[in-house]
Structure 1
Amino acid sequence: MTPVGATKTESEGALDELFDRVNKLLGDPSQTNNCQETSKSEGFVPRQPRNMRETGINPTMLEKIIIRFLCQVGAETSRRIASQLRLPSKVLEQLFKQLRFDKYIDLAGTTPSGDSEFCITDSGRDRARRYNLECTYFGAAPVSLEDYIASVTAQSIAGQIVTKQDLTRALKGMIINDAMFNRLGPAINSGRGMFLFGAPGNGKTNIAERIADSFTSTVWIPRAVAIDGEIMRIFDPAIHVIVGETEHNVGLLDAMDIDRRWVQIKRPTVIAGGELTMDELEISVNPTSRICESPLQVKSNCGILVIDDFGRQKMPIDMLLNRWIVPLEKRFDYLNMPNGKKIQMPFDQLIIFSTNLQPKDLADGAFLRRIPYKIEVPDPSEAEFRDLFRIMCEKFGFAHDPDAINYLIDTHYRPTNRPYRRCQPRDLLLQVRNYSQFHSEPMELSCQAFDAAVLNYFSVMG
């Protein structure tokens, strides 16, 4: 403990600087105007930097992005360059002057609105070629690693509360018994992890995907993060669903003082199946562009990570368990940068292991202890099975015929004690539809159609 009146150490000063940056990102009323105070009540909102220091980025990195961009386009206005970097023009004014002084860019003209147009010089092209040997990135300016960590902390999935109403809405159209429903809710609110296990075909993956819809809040993530001179992409359009930003409301975002290096998205859901490899859990580098790509667990921060068909991955199960046993406990992960530096990243997601196997057969007690909820997805009861047929008949355009369902159960289920599965009503009705279309028969649940469907569907399954 530092005595009262003692001089702050260098580390304490750095910590204070980090807190100042966190307060700015959160919209600390002591450092913001009234508009920012209002936004603070709505949660985490990244604010536009007012100067170069507040970007949190070394000016040299921004210089490299500008020169690469101008090398691609030849000439562009200062506003368009700033828009490419997602930064206010005024923040880059001094950098433009420096680049002109260094003769990397030159003034090509002025637009009628008074905006300067810059072109790249021969010296600038030479510099761009050197920069491209390191990395070819010329997109949005990255944010600092410190700002990214602060954002994850402020928007942590562990701080979200899901109610019965939220989960009911998310699972609408699914038949979930009360016992399982009441176990799912607390597991979600733990913000840590769960096993969903049970026989195949009972909707474990579907449930895992639907859980994301129970969260009503959105999160802000950066398009990219600067780490020790490297640029790592965070935003992935194949995974992250943008809300709030369109090409038509950029001016509105600027008026709201939003830092456009950040993207507002739905809480992410990342699903990795049997194809998951260890390489996907580490930072990867594009061999052509030399841009770093964040691993799956980073892209899922503040959201959900589903490991589907757990236990069927190509890698040994022990290798995956050992890789994640510390992150699950500590809520942070260590990643290796291409330059060999090891960095600490947040590991903040609700992780769901979906498996057809028994958890005790997959992992030892040390790992199972770190996954506090183990929830079985059971076979449906006969009543639930019949209800699923009713729902699926409506979906596929069949008239619901209880007598035909009775025939199916009495003929093809009870005599062999065949277990009910939640996927079977859908799968069998698809076969009945195909049978009816081929024979030019009306869309009805006939005994003959069910006989044909069962013969095809269960022929090698027993």
Structure 2
Amino acid sequence: MRKSNPFSNFGGMKVNQQLTGVTSYVAGRQGDDELRLDALIDRIHELTLAEASPPRHSIAESVSAPSPRPMMANFISCQPDSWVPIEPDTLTAGGLTGGEGEALILKVLNSRAEATGRCLSEQLKLAFRLIDPLLQTMKQDRLVAHKGSAAMNDYTYQLTEMGRERARKCAEHCTYCGSAPVPLRDYIDSVKRQSLTSEQPTEEDLQRAFEDLMINHEMLLRLGTAINSGRGMFLFGAPGNGKTSIAERITKAFGETIWIPRALSIEGEIMRLFDPGVHEVAPLPENHSVLDSRKVDNRWIRIRRPTIVVGGELTMEHLEVSLNRVTNVSEAPVQLKSNCGTLVIDDFGRQRMTTDQLLNRWIVPLEKRYDFLNLANGTKIQVPFDQLIVFSTNLEPKSLVDDAFLRRIPYKIEVIDPDEQSFRQLMKTMAAKMEVEYDEAAVDYLLDKHYRAANRKLRCCQPRDLILQILNFCRYTKKPAKLTPENFDFAVGNYFAVL
């Protein structure tokens, strides 16, 4: 008895339909597998975020929200009083064209023998998902070639001969190959969001900012009013009373950190804004979740609110855009670097430029809160002038500038000499800080012999300076560090020799 064919019940047409169905089923299974994998990754992502942060204030929710202005840099709030820029979804949303991205990649590869796509992403501070399609296009155009494969679906790239020639032409215009620049319009928007004028420091904020200085209540009241205005101020008075120390701590009364672009793109020109010499980096807190949902735009860098101090070295060149003729990269002026912070003009009146020159340069920005800068290509641009300007001087303000300038600096605060009680308290505080034994009788001797008898005025810096002299003397002679009449005689002989 013959065994029946299992397919004998089907006709030829039915068999063809069945085979077609099997093929469709296999293809469908492959598509379903990919969808399931994507869904699984999304689910892991959601569970990680739910565990890492409260659902109502999740950073991920803010990140995933659609942007109302796709052409501008997008921002999300980390805390009620702070925000961070998020990475763009496309190059266009980040203010970059494909040609600009291509030029940056070519110049990076021209400076190296080879680089992976993720290394290029790190160098340009752009997400790999934005770099990868650009690299594939450049490979099709025979500008780059694959040298080999790399981890995580990446490749090692190197320039072709055509790409090397294109890179040389790009470098002739500008050699910059660092972080991709941010459009000027996005920077202007960020300054508005982080402006000092939007904050109103309280008395507690000022006490925290000046906690290491001895400032009386009346002085704190005057400073608080001036700082709240967000406008300029004059700090004047005798040298040694802490004008510069006060000016350097004013920024602490405001929010601690801001975000600034590493570089700006302006009318085809690139301008460096982040300066490690004056800006202090403040990295984000470490993220302990498995997946980082913050999506921070790495072209921006988080810094502490800047406090930039310039003194007698200030010239007109520091207030204008400077161009490096070798690299063709521009450097931002000092007032642009100090936006959203404090700019201290120390020893005002002793600069290499005259006060009239500074008056004519800043008389409009001080009132309008915006400035005009000239680029190397002849373009004039409008930029924010949003900082607290502090003029610190030992001279009388009226002897330096005219009434028109003084009107634009509404607050003039005199830093007066300390009284005897404050001087004694400063002496006691500095002795404890420097671990020098304090003796009230020795301080009485100092005040009687070296101040009242000599008709010498008290200054806030003198307790620190005199105790430092005694400390160094005791270390050299191997004696106990202590305030004694003999030690004070030696310190005064050095310190006031020509005063």
1:200 is paired with a residue whose SS is coil
Give the distance between the partners of 1:288 and 1:190, measured in 2 at CA.
42
Are 2:71 and 2:95, in contact at CA under 8 Å, matched by a contact in 1? no
1:390 aligns with 2:428: yes
Q: What percent of counterpart residues are identical?
A: 49
Q: Aligned-pair distance for 1:98?
A: 2.9
**Alpha-carbon spacing, 1:176–1:40, altered in 2? closer, same or farther (3 Å):** closer
Residue 69 (structure 2) aligns with: 20
Deviates more, 1:179-188 or 1:452-461: 452-461
Counterpart pick for 2:310 among 261, 272, 287: 272
Q: Give 5+ residue unaligned stretches, structure 1.
A: 1-17, 28-37
Are 2:72 and 2:186, in contact at CA under 8 Å, matched by a contact in 1? no
Residue 336 (structure 2) aligns with: 298
Are 1:297 and 1:305, in contact at CA under 8 Å, matched by a contact in 2? yes
Give the distance between the partners of 2:395 and 2:321, measured in 1 at CA.
30
Are 1:22 and 1:147, in contact at CA under 8 Å, matched by a contact in 2? no
1:212 aligns with 2:251: yes
1:95-244 mapped onto 2 (5 Å cutoff): 95-244=134-283
**Alpha-carbon spacing, 1:245–1:147, altered in 2? closer, same or farther (3 Å):** same
Are 1:283 and 1:293, in contact at CA under 8 Å, matched by a contact in 2? yes
Are 2:71 and 2:92, in contact at CA under 8 Å, matched by a contact in 1? no
Q: Aligned-pair distance for 1:362?
A: 1.1
**Alpha-carbon spacing, 1:21–1:320, altered in 2? closer, same or farther (3 Å):** farther
Are 2:71 and 2:93, in contact at CA under 8 Å, matched by a contact in 1? no
Residue 389 (structure 2) aligns with: 351
Quick one: which amino acid aligns to residue 403 of structure 2?
G
Residue 474 (structure 2) aligns with: 436
**Alpha-carbon spacing, 1:264–1:250, altered in 2? closer, same or farther (3 Å):** farther
Q: Structure 1-normalised TM-score?
A: 0.89
Give the distance between the partners of 1:117 and 1:22, measured in 2 at CA.
32
Q: Aligned-pair distance for 1:58?
A: 2.6
Give the distance between the partners of 2:71 and 2:338, measured in 1 at CA.
21
Give the distance between the partners of 1:45 and 1:397, measured in 2 at CA.
43
**Alpha-carbon spacing, 1:430–1:223, altered in 2? closer, same or farther (3 Å):** same
Rg comparison, structure with higher value: 2
Q: Aligned-pair distance for 1:42?
A: 4.7
Are 2:72 and 2:185, in contact at CA under 8 Å, matched by a contact in 1? no
Q: Aligned-pair distance for 1:65?
A: 0.9
* Deviations 1:246-281 (CA, angstroms, capped at 9, x unpaired): 9x8699895312111111111111110111111111
Are 1:110 and 1:116, in contact at CA under 8 Å, matched by a contact in 2? yes
1:421 is paired with a residue whose SS is coil
Give the distance between the partners of 1:165 and 1:329, measured in 2 at CA.
29
Are 1:283 and 1:292, in contact at CA under 8 Å, matched by a contact in 2? yes
Deviates more, 1:364-373 or 1:248-257: 248-257
1:330 aligns with 2:368: yes
Give the distance between the partners of 2:347 and 2:162, measured in 1 at CA.
55
* Deviations 1:54-76 (CA, angstroms, capped at 9, x unpaired): 01123222211110001112222
2:328 is paired with a residue whose SS is coil
Residue 420 (structure 1) aligns with: 458
2:342 is paired with a residue whose SS is strand
Give the distance between the partners of 2:486 and 2:303, measured in 1 at CA.
49
* Deviations 1:64-101 (CA, angstroms, capped at 9, x unpaired): 11100011122222122122111112223332233223
Quick one: which amino acid aligns to residue 296 of structure 1?
V
1:310 aligns with 2:359: no
Q: Aligned-pair distance for 1:132?
A: 1.5
1:98 is paired with a residue whose SS is helix
**Alpha-carbon spacing, 1:24–1:72, altered in 2? closer, same or farther (3 Å):** closer
**Alpha-carbon spacing, 1:125–1:252, altered in 2? closer, same or farther (3 Å):** farther
Residue 281 (structure 1) aligns with: 319
Give the distance between the partners of 2:474 and 2:73, measured in 1 at CA.
64
Give the distance between the partners of 2:475 and 2:71, measured in 1 at CA.
62
How many correspondences in the alignment? 433
2:126 is paired with a residue whose SS is coil
Residue 53 (structure 2) aligns with: none
Give the distance between the partners of 1:370 and 1:71, measured in 2 at CA.
51
Residue 450 (structure 1) aligns with: 488
Residue 57 (structure 1) aligns with: 96
Quick one: which amino acid aligns to residue 122 of structure 2?
S
Residue 75 (structure 1) aligns with: 114
Give the distance between the partners of 2:289 and 2:359, measured in 1 at CA.
47
Are 1:44 and 1:151, in contact at CA under 8 Å, matched by a contact in 2? no
Over the aligned positions, Cα root-mean-square deviation in angstroms equals 2.1
Q: Aligned-pair distance for 1:290?
A: 2.0
Q: Give 5+ residue unaligned stretches, structure 2.
A: 1-66
